[in-house]
Amino acid sequence: MAYLSTVIVIKFYPKTGDLSGFSCTKTSIAHLGLLDLLNDRCEAIRITVRSMNRFCNSIQIIRGIGPKKAALFSKLGITTIEDALNYFPRVYEHRGPVQTVESIREGMVALCLQWKDSPRLNRVRRGFSTVIWKGYDETGTIECIWFNQPYRANIHKFDGKRYYVFGKAVKRPSGYQIQNPIVEEYKEECHDNSRYLPVYPLVKGLTQRDARQLTKGALKILEKVDYADEMDRYIVSQYEIIDKVRAWQSIHNPQSEEAILQARKRLVFEELLQFQIAIQYFKKRFQENKKGLVIPVSKDLLNSFLQGLPFKLTCAQNRVLDEVLSDLESGKVMNRLIQGDVGSGKTVISVAALFFVAKAGYQ
């Protein structure tokens, strides 16, 4: 079945800050009645309906994702390609460029090594074992150790090839030791540069490799889709944010720390924008459909109340009081939050509102 994604491009009012729509499916728009709101508040609306079959497809179309892995990803709420694109990393693992053995210090290091001799498996006691293998480069030799990973003795080969080794360097009396390193076959174009690897939330049965394979496959599909950005170009330009496709690419495969920040800025901005517009919509509908009490406010009563105070209101207090009293007179249901520091005078605003409600015969 074809999936229709409705993209609403609206006109933004920079002077008043009014925003009148957000991207969602056609069904959601009809359900929320958003079109009524948009027709009422926007000068120009362009609704583009495009077929997004690929985004609605199961993640099983990605190579390496079979029924079992798909079932595990479904526990994370990931069933479609669009879900995979919105499966964001929780942190990033920064892997710097390759160092030499003689230059390392304590902390995370990246080395290009060849293996020396064969690995040594030590079964120290029941339930505890170590695998020790020495590697070397042109500047020296270093020991790599894996705890409780006996399979490591068999998966790495003593074949004369160079390997990328990334792990924590710890200083021992005999020299530095790399603990529980990650080992990959060395590729100059990949490992000689600084990298930011995404680290995703997982469930039991999934690995970071599975998660990265999923998002990499989703990005390849994204490249083949003529994706229409939900956000108007004016807003993108005004707030200096990147487009959605670039945000997805940078959040899953960042080339720098700056790229991560730009991607997060775009995705957070969009989420808050949608939330704010939804709040404004429901507020408008609530005010239209539910009538409140009309509380008369006279200048004489207001002056009488103010004269009875042992102090004069500040400009900010007078402004907020005018807004509250205006709401009381309007007959609309008032829903306000008065915010301020301790001792800033919030209580007197509430007392003033209560005063006029009591004068009108209500409690």
Q: In the chain, which residues have pLDDT < 70?
A: 1-53
Check residue 121 and give its pLDDT. 92
Nearest to 81 by CA among 67, 110, 63, 60: 60
d(CA 152, CA 208): 18
Compute how many other C-beta atoms are within 10 angstroms of the C-beta atom of residue 13: 13
CB 19 within 8 A of CB 42: no
CB 347 within 8 A of CB 313: no
How would DSSP label each residue in 286-311?
A: HHHHSB-------HHHHHHHHHTSSS
Nearest to 218 by CA among 64, 46, 9, 22: 64
Nearest to 114 by CA among 175, 153, 149, 156: 156
Check residue 153 and give its pLDDT. 86
Alpha helices in the chain (DSSP H): 26-32, 34-41, 53-56, 67-74, 81-85, 152-155, 188-191, 208-223, 233-238, 244-252, 257-289, 299-307, 315-330, 346-359
Residue 360's contacts (CB-CB under 8 Å, 6 or more residues apart) are: 293, 295, 296
In residues, how long is the chain? 363
- Give the angle subtended at the CA of 199 by the CAs of 195 and 205, to the nearest 5°: 135
Check residue 53 and give its pLDDT. 62
Summarize pLDDT for 107-121 with one digit per residue, the tens: 999 999 999 888 899
Check residue 291 and give its pLDDT. 74
The single-letter code of the amino acid at 303 is N
CB 229 within 8 A of CB 243: yes
Check residue 61 and give its pLDDT. 93
d(CA 255, CA 223): 17
CB 230 within 8 A of CB 270: yes
d(CA 222, CA 209): 20
The single-letter code of the amino acid at 258 is E
